[in-house]
Amino acid sequence: MAGDASALLEEAARAAERARELQEAAAAHISRTWTEEEALRKRALALDSDLRRLQSSLDSAAKKGGGGDGGGGGGGGGLDPRIADKIDEELYRARCILSEGDVASLLPSKAHGRFLKMFLGPVNVRATRKEVQLKVKEEYNSYRVYSDSNSL
């Protein structure tokens, strides 16, 4: 009987040690993931800032030029409308990738109106798995539709 008890004690001690090792590995993984996410978040914010700056530069160049001379870039000081359209298209693509792709979860959420913010409070849902993001979005939209139809 004493042999069984000591064997159980050793097995329990090994299980406890494995649990501690697993806990340490999980904590290290979470820390690495958080660090990587922070680095991605900083890159996303920097890119978002660059896109805003580029859009502002494009807008001011387009206002200065007033359409240009249509000749394709010689000394008029204006921006060729075709080039401006291409730049605008590239900026639009980049903004779409940021706002609708996986990067969107890294950026701070945009304000959706004072009433909604007062009504719901600070809501910031982030999910790493796409199906969870879609489920949350679907539930939120169904709630909005339900609350809108009841307010009429």
What angle do helix axes 2-65 and 81-100 make, rounded to 10 degrees? 160
Q: Which residue has the higher pLDDT, 119 or 37?
A: 37
For the chain, the domains span 114-152
List the one residue out of 94, 112, 113 whose CA is nearest residue 104: 94
If you average pLDDT over every residue of the chain, what do you get?
A: 79
Q: Which residue has the higher pLDDT, 118 or 83?
A: 83
Looking at the predicted structure, is the pLDDT value of residue 98 above 80? yes
- Say how far apart CA 128 and CA 110 lie, in whole Å: 19
- Say how far apart CA 32 and CA 70 lie, in whole Å: 53
Which range has the worst mean pLDDT, 68-77, 105-114, 124-133?
68-77
> What contacts 24+ positions apart, CB below 8 Å, involve 64-69?
none
List the one residue out of 109, 147, 114 whose CA is nearest residue 127: 109
| C-alpha separations of 136 from 27, 62, 113, 121, 133 in Å | 27, 40, 19, 17, 5
Looking at the predicted structure, is the pLDDT value of residue 102 above 70? yes
Residues 39-57 pLDDT 10s: 999 999 999 999 999 999 9
